[in-house]
Amino acid sequence: MSEVSNVTDGEREAGESTDGDERVAFGETLVDVNGLKKYFTQSSGLFSSISFEPDQFPPVSLGQQKVKAVDDVSFEIKRGETLGLVGESGCGKSTLGRSLLRLVDPTDGTIEFKGEDLADISGEELRRKRSEIQMIFQDPQSSLDPRMKMGQIVEEPMRAHDMPKSDPDVATTASVTAENVDEPVDVTVADDADLVVEADDEGVATVPVTVARDEYGVTATVPEHLEASASVESDGTISVNVSVSTSKDELRRERAKELLGKVGLDPTYYNRYPHAFSGGQRQRINLARALSVDPDFVVCDEPVSALDVSIQAQVMNTMEELQEEFGLTYLFIAHDLSVIRHISDRVAVMYLGHIVEIAEKEELFENSQHPYTKALLESIPVPDPRDEGARGVLEGEVPSPQNPPSGCRFRTRCPELIAPDEYDLPDEQWAHVRAFMRAVKRRTFEPMTAEALEAEFFGGTLPWGEAGEVVRDVIDLIATDRQGGERTPDGDDEVEENWEEATDLLLESFAERSICAQERPSYELESEYGSGTHFAACHRHR
Ligand SMILES: Nc1ncnc2c1ncn2[C@@H]1O[C@H](COP(=O)(O)OP(=O)(O)OP(=O)(O)O)[C@@H](O)[C@H]1O
């Protein structure tokens, strides 16, 4: 047996050009997001506002509110990695994921995918790119058309993108194995053989061809879905022509069945409808559908949140296997930190439209630096029921994304708000002021005398200097034995006004003067675990 290799595609040199995909090596940046913003404009309904301007005509106008769902976000994702994106409901995770696919149009910023700005393209160019980026949604039930059979569902994106498609940049060639053949062999491979045989990293699809002589003559054997004809030329050369024998429909069906097997479903269920499957199985159908167009990047938006905990791990394991096999890159969105911990290589934490911390997984879980991340981590339900009090340290509501706090967006709920520099308060006194400010703002205590307030919140000793004077003014406003306690003929109105004034005074004198309110934080820290960078948007690192 001898082996003959013979390039046969006359027009293209093998390896001359490569598919764009291969330009991004594993570990290099595949997705690079910079300054991304998505503001929703609401002119009616819940977010509309009516403003009254007596000096203007007409004096009443319907204002437009901007919901700042994603507000100046930057990060990158390396090829082959999983970036977990976590945060409370409403913090902008889905909007961010959808912006990357241009399912919503960004208000500002760039989304570079393989070096090309997706925010800048449209029409056919965008449509083509969409086969390289796929999305999987939370609810596997509603994202599957109940009237389509499982096989059709998986084939549908391939049909929409006219796949499989021959790549004009791929050269086709043959690797010839000769059996009982001494003559020269000349093989011609059709240009579209890459529909069946995958191209290598050099952009060459090599078809294995076995040319053999037996008692009936010379035959050529090629892989399934190809056909070959062999003839002996007058000069003794054996000439072989290789072409594709299967229609695109059949190729799609084959691929759908292969993918169904890979995602852990029985391909013989090809003709069943989605209702015949469980939630976990339906999410597997979604996976097969997303992978059918051979994407590089998959945005997974809460893909396991609707599944039972026992099924979640199985689906995530399958996703990890598929990532390995197909060289996929994931952005994995979840609100559940244990899910994020299972699947991520790096983790980004989002709060009210900002990314507040990004680090490698171990670094983030073992050495978190942002108070919001710490609060989320402390809120993870602990499986041991005897371990009490390990949940729920996040106080208060997430502020409105229409009017988010200045500086650090978490500052209004932050247990580590930094004291304004001008007061020069010791830590203990600042802790007292902070607790007092929070309690007055939320009115978490019954009205009491000035002495009782001082004892309750300051251990009997008010802070010194200017800070102490502010606290004294506040106590004058709300203590029952000062004017705050006096009832007026108007009932509680004055008491109410005094409380509001007291709250404003505290916020203006302390919260608003903190660096946390004045500058948006952005710091790069040394990682204790692993070698990656650790970004934490908290002024405690200034
Ligand atoms: N089409 C829209 N029009 C107006 N506001 C929107 C729209 N989509 C999202 N929002 C608002 O943008 C903010 C972020 O929403 P988003 O769904 O991205 O958050 P999320 O973190 O994914 O939350 P969840 O986990 O609940 O889906 C919310 O305040 C939401 O109400």
What are 491-511's pLDDT values in tens digits? Answer: 567 778 888 999 999 999 999
Instruction: Compute the CA torsion angle 495, 496, 499, 503 (nearest 10 deg).
Output: -160
pLDDT digits 0-9 by tens, 372-405: 999 999 886 544 444 444 444 577 778 999 999 9
Prediction ipTM score: 0.95
Q: 465-478 and 493-509 helices cross at what angle (nearest 10)?
A: 170
What does the block give as tokens for 186? 């000349």
| Protein residue with its CA nearest to atom 26 in ligand 1 | 89
Q: How far is the CA of 68 from the centre of ligand 1 (A)?
A: 9
Best of 66, 68, 94, 372 for a ligand 1 pocket test (most atoms within 8 Å of beta carbon): 94
Give the pLDDT of residue 47: 47
| Average pLDDT in the chain | 87
Q: How far is the CA of 94 from the centre of ligand 1 (A)?
A: 7
C-alpha angle with apex 132: 125 to 347, nearest 5 degrees?
A: 125
pLDDT digits 0-9 by tens, 270-315: 999 999 999 999 999 999 999 999 999 999 999 999 899 989 999 9
Give the pLDDT of residue 63: 61
Give the pLDDT of residue 52: 52
Give me the residue label for tokens 């997974």.
300
Give the pLDDT of residue 6: 41
Q: Are strands 523-525 and 65-78 parallel, antiparallel or unpaired?
A: unpaired
Q: Are 244 and 192 in contact (CB under 8 A)?
A: yes
Give the pLDDT of residue 214: 87
What one-character DSSP code corresponds to residue 369? -
Q: Are 298 and 330 in contact (CB under 8 A)?
A: yes
Give the pLDDT of residue 424: 87
| Protein residue with its CA nearest to atom 24 in ligand 1 | 89
- Smallest CA-to-CA distance from 351 within 303, 394, 306, 298 is with 394
Q: Is the Cβ atom of 203 under 6 angstroms away from ligand 1?
A: no
Give me the residue label for tokens 């190809």.
226
What does the block give as tokens for 216? 């009936």
How long is the chain? 542
> Region 48-71: what's the mean pLDDT?
66
Give the pLDDT of residue 19: 43
- Smallest CA-to-CA distance from 480 within 518, 509, 447, 437 is with 447
- Smallest CA-to-CA distance from 157 within 259, 21, 244 is with 259
Beta bridge partners of 185: 238
Q: Are 228 and 8 in contact (CB under 8 A)?
A: no
First to last CA, the chain: 72
Give the pLDDT of residue 128: 86
C-alpha angle with apex 348: 263 to 95, nearest 5 degrees?
A: 75
pLDDT digits 0-9 by tens, 161-182: 999 989 999 999 999 999 999 9
Give me the residue label for tokens 């977010």.
47
- Smallest CA-to-CA distance from 331 within 98, 500, 491, 519 is with 98
- Smallest CA-to-CA distance from 134 within 292, 5, 299, 6 is with 299
Q: How far is the CA of 90 from the centre of ligand 1 (A)?
A: 5
485-510 b/e (C-beta count within 10 Å ≥ 16 → b): eeeeeeeeeebeebbeebbebbbebb
Best of 39, 40, 64 for a ligand 1 pocket test (most atoms within 8 Å of beta carbon): 40
Asked if the model's pLDDT at residue 9 lies above 50, the reply is no
How far from 249 is each of 165, 192, 193, 246, CA to CA, in Å? 12, 15, 16, 8
Give the pLDDT of residue 15: 36
- Smallest CA-to-CA distance from 232 within 257, 211, 201, 253 is with 211
Q: Please tell me which residue, 8 or 470, carries the higher pLDDT value.
A: 470
Q: How far is the CA of 69 from the centre of ligand 1 (A)?
A: 6
How far from 294 is each of 58, 326, 475, CA to CA, in Å? 57, 8, 66
Q: Please tell me which residue, 199 or 19, carries the higher pLDDT value.
A: 199
Confidence of residue 144 (pLDDT cuts 50, 70, 90): confident
Query: Could you tell me how far CA 462 lies from the centroid of its own chain?
Result: 47
Give the pLDDT of residue 496: 83
Give the pLDDT of residue 1: 40
What one-character DSSP code corresponds to residue 421? G
Q: 465-478 and 450-458 helices cross at what angle (nearest 10)?
A: 130
Asked if the model's pLDDT at residue 3 lies above 50, the reply is no
Asked if the model's pLDDT at residue 72 lies above 50, the reply is yes
- In the chain, the largest separation of any two C-alpha atoms, in whole Å, equals 119
How far from 92 is each of 81, 84, 288, 338, CA to CA, in Å? 22, 14, 27, 20
> Region 513-530: what's the mean pLDDT?
95
Instruction: Give CA–CA dist 447/43, Å, rounded.
Output: 42
What does the block give as tokens for 292? 């059918």
φ and ψ at residue 69, rounded to 5 degrees? -70, -45
Task: Find the range with the poorest average confidence among 5-19, 70-84, 519-533.
Answer: 5-19
pLDDT digits 0-9 by tens, 112-121: 999 999 999 9
| Protein residue with its CA nearest to atom 11 in ligand 1 | 69
Q: How far is the CA of 429 from the centre of ligand 1 (A)?
A: 39
> Region 134-161: what's the mean pLDDT?
89
Confidence of residue 62 (pLDDT cuts 50, 70, 90): low
Domains of the chain: 2-19+168-249 (no CATH), 23-39+70-146+156-161+269-354 (3.40.50.300), 364-394+521-541 (no CATH), 419-513 (no CATH)
Asked if the model's pLDDT at residue 199 lies above 60, the reply is yes
pLDDT digits 0-9 by tens, 22-49: 578 888 999 999 999 999 987 655 444 5
Give the pLDDT of residue 320: 97
Give the pLDDT of residue 54: 54
Best of 43, 47, 65, 93 for a ligand 1 pocket test (most atoms within 8 Å of beta carbon): 93
What one-character DSSP code corresponds to residue 276? G
- Smallest CA-to-CA distance from 208 within 173, 184, 175 is with 175
Share of the chain above pLDDT 90, in %: 72
Instruction: Give CA–CA dist 297/279, Å, rounded.
Output: 23
Q: Are 168 and 20 in contact (CB under 8 A)?
A: no
What one-character DSSP code corresponds to residue 472? H
Asked if the model's pLDDT at residue 21 lies above 60, the reply is no
- Smallest CA-to-CA distance from 303 within 289, 324, 287, 288 is with 287
| Protein residue with its CA nearest to atom 31 in ligand 1 | 90
Confidence of residue 7 (pLDDT cuts 50, 70, 90): very low
Q: How far is the CA of 91 from the centre of ligand 1 (A)?
A: 7
Instruction: Give CA–CA dist 346/505, Å, rounded.
Output: 42
Give the pLDDT of residue 396: 74
Q: How far is the CA of 299 from the centre of ligand 1 (A)?
A: 16
Q: Are strands 204-214 and 297-301 parallel, antiparallel or unpaired?
A: unpaired
φ and ψ at residue 189, rounded to 5 degrees? -110, 135
Atom nearest to 400 CA in ligand 1: 29
Task: Find the range with the poorest average confidence among 41-45, 204-208, 409-413.
Answer: 41-45
Instruction: Give CA–CA dist 358/344, Å, rounded.
Output: 12
Q: Are 333 and 319 in contact (CB under 8 A)?
A: no
> Region 458-479: what's the mean pLDDT?
92
